[in-house]
Chains A and B, each alone.
Chain A
Amino acid sequence: MYKILFKQVLNPVTKMMVIDAPEIAKVCKPGQFVMIRVNETGERFPLTIGDFDREKGTITIVFQEVGKSTMLLGSLGKGDEILDFVGPLGKPSPTDKKYGTVVAIGGGCGSAIVFPVARAFKEAGNFLITINGARSMDLLLYRNEMEEISDETYETTDDGSCGVHGFVTTVLSDLISQGRQIDLVFAVGPVPMMKFVSKTTEAKKIPTLVSLNSIMVDGTGMCGACRVNVGGQMKFTCVDGPEFDGHQVDFDELMGRLNAYLEQEAISEKQWVEEHGGTA
Chain B
Amino acid sequence: MSEETGQTTTKKRERPPPTKKVPMPEQDPILRGKNFQEVALGYTAEQAVEEANKCLHCRNPKCISGCPVEVDIKEFIELIREKKFMEAALKIKETNSLPAICGRVCPQETQCEAPCIYGIRNEPIAVGRLERFVADYARAHGEPLPKLPKKNGKKIAVIGSGPAGLTCAGDLIKLGYDVTIFEAFHKPGGVLIYGIPEFRLPKEIVTAEVEYLERIGVEIKYNHVIGKIRTVVELMNEDGYDAVFLGTGAGAPNFMRIPGMNLVTVFSANEFLTRVNLMKAYEFPKYDTPVRIGNRVAVIGGGNVAMDAARTSLRLGAEEVIIVYRRSRDELPARLEEVHHAEEEGVQFRLLTNPTEVIGNERGEVIGMQCIKMELGEPDDSGRARPIPIEGSEFIMDVDTVIVAIGNSPNPIIPQTTPGLEVTRWGTIVIDEETGMTTLPGVFAGGDIVTGAATVISAMGAGKRAARGIHKYIFDE
C-alpha gap A85/B222 in the complex (Å)? 10
Interface membership of chain A positions 2-40, coded 1 if the CB is closer than 8 angstroms to chain B and 0 otherwise: 000000000000000000000110010000000001000
A89 touches B285 (CB 8 A): no
| B262 contacts across to A, CB distance below 8 A | 227-229, 234, 253, 257
A264 touches B290 (CB 8 A): yes
- Is there a chain A Cβ closer than 8 Å to B261's Cβ? yes
Distance from A19 Cβ to chain B, minimum over Cβ atoms (Å):
12
A261 touches B363 (CB 8 A): no
| B413 contacts across to A, CB distance below 8 A | 220-221, 239
A224 touches B268 (CB 8 A): yes
- Segment 216-264 of B: residues with Cβ below 8 Å from A: 222-225, 228-230, 251-253, 255, 261-262, 264
Which residue, B185, B223, B287, B288, has most C-beta atoms of chain A within 10 A?
B288
C-alpha gap A139/B186 in the complex (Å)? 34
C-alpha gap A43/B276 in the complex (Å)? 11
Distance from A187 Cβ to chain B, minimum over Cβ atoms (Å):
22
Task: Decide yes or no: A222 and B279 within 8 Å by CB, A41-B288, A89-B228, A259-B264 being known contacts.
Answer: no
* One of A94-102, A114-122, A265-273 at the interface: A265-273
Contact of B285 among A257, A260, A268 (CB under 8 A): A268
- Segment 196-233 of B: residues with Cβ below 8 Å from A: 222-225, 228-230
C-alpha gap A229/B255 in the complex (Å)? 13
C-alpha gap A227/B267 in the complex (Å)? 10
- Is there a chain B Cβ closer than 8 Å to A124's Cβ? no
Interface membership of chain B positions 269-300, coded 1 if the CB is closer than 8 angstroms to chain A and 0 otherwise: 01100110001100011111110100000000
Task: Decide yes or no: A223 and B274 within 8 Å by CB, A43-B279, A84-B222, A264-B290 being known contacts.
Answer: yes
Contact of B271 among A88, A225, A264 (CB under 8 A): A225
| B268 contacts across to A, CB distance below 8 A | 223-225
- Is there a chain B Cβ closer than 8 Å to A74's Cβ? no
Give the tally of cross-chain contacts (CB within 8 A): 114
A224 touches B229 (CB 8 A): no
Interface membership of chain B positions 381-407, coded 1 if the CB is closer than 8 angstroms to chain A and 0 otherwise: 000000000000000000000000000
Distance from B442 Cβ to chain A, minimum over Cβ atoms (Å):
22
B411 touches A221 (CB 8 A): yes
A267 touches B285 (CB 8 A): yes
- Segment 402-437 of B: residues with Cβ below 8 Å from A: 411-413
Contact of A87 among B228, B251, B255, B292 (CB under 8 A): B228
C-alpha gap A199/B223 in the complex (Å)? 38
C-alpha gap A234/B255 in the complex (Å)? 9
| B292 contacts across to A, CB distance below 8 A | 260-261, 264
Task: Decide yes or no: A221 and B251 within 8 Å by CB, A253-B262, A257-B262 being known contacts.
Answer: yes
Interface membership of chain B positions 148-188, coded 1 if the CB is closer than 8 angstroms to chain A and 0 otherwise: 00000000000000000000000000000000000011100
C-alpha gap A218/B186 in the complex (Å)? 10
- Is there a chain B Cβ closer than 8 Å to A179's Cβ? no
- Is there a chain A Cβ closer than 8 Å to B25's Cβ? no
| A220 contacts across to B, CB distance below 8 A | 184, 225, 251, 411, 413
- Is there a chain A Cβ closer than 8 Å to B364's Cβ? yes
Contact of A41 among B253, B274, B286 (CB under 8 A): B286
Contact of B264 among A85, A260, A268 (CB under 8 A): A260
Interface membership of chain A positions 217-244, coded 1 if the CB is closer than 8 angstroms to chain B and 0 otherwise: 1101111110111000010000100000
Q: How large is the interface on B (under 10, 10 to 19, 20 to 34, 35 or more residues)?
A: 35 or more
Interface membership of chain A positions 192-217, coded 1 if the CB is closer than 8 angstroms to chain B and 0 otherwise: 00000000000000000000000001
A87 touches B252 (CB 8 A): no
| A259 contacts across to B, CB distance below 8 A | 264, 363
Distance from B292 Cβ to chain A, minimum over Cβ atoms (Å):
7
Task: Decide yes or no: A264 and B270 within 8 Å by CB, A27-B229, A84-B223 being known contacts.
Answer: no
Chain A's closest residue to B234 (CB) is: A27
- Segment 18-77 of A: residues with Cβ below 8 Å from B: 23-24, 27, 37, 41-44, 68-69, 72
Chain A's closest residue to B265 (CB) is: A260
Distance from B464 Cβ to chain A, minimum over Cβ atoms (Å):
25
Distance from B330 Cβ to chain A, minimum over Cβ atoms (Å):
30
C-alpha gap A37/B186 in the complex (Å)? 9
| B255 contacts across to A, CB distance below 8 A | 224, 227, 234
| A277 contacts across to B, CB distance below 8 A | none
C-alpha gap A220/B288 in the complex (Å)? 20
Chain A's closest residue to B289 (CB) is: A43
| B290 contacts across to A, CB distance below 8 A | 43, 261, 264-265, 268
Contact of A85 among B223, B253, B279 (CB under 8 A): B223
| B253 contacts across to A, CB distance below 8 A | 222-224
B251 touches A257 (CB 8 A): no
Which residue, A23, A86, A267, has most C-beta atoms of chain B within 10 A?
A86
22 pairs from A and B in contact (CB 8 Å cutoff): A41-B280, A43-B290, A69-B288, A84-B223, A86-B223, A88-B228, A217-B275, A218-B274, A221-B412, A223-B253, A223-B268, A223-B271, A224-B253, A224-B255, A225-B271, A227-B255, A239-B413, A256-B363, A257-B264, A261-B290, A264-B285, A271-B285
Nearest first, the 8 closest Cβ-Cβ pairs linking A and B are A264-B290, A256-B364, A223-B271, A222-B251, A43-B288, A43-B289, A86-B223, A84-B186
Residues of B within 8 A of A (CB): 184-186, 222-225, 228-230, 251-253, 255, 261-262, 264-265, 267-268, 270-271, 274-275, 279-280, 284-290, 292, 363-364, 411-413
Give 9 A-B pairs besides A43-B287, A89-B228, A253-B364 with Cβ atoms closer than 8 angstroms. Answer: A27-B229, A86-B225, A89-B225, A218-B185, A222-B270, A224-B268, A227-B255, A234-B261, A260-B265
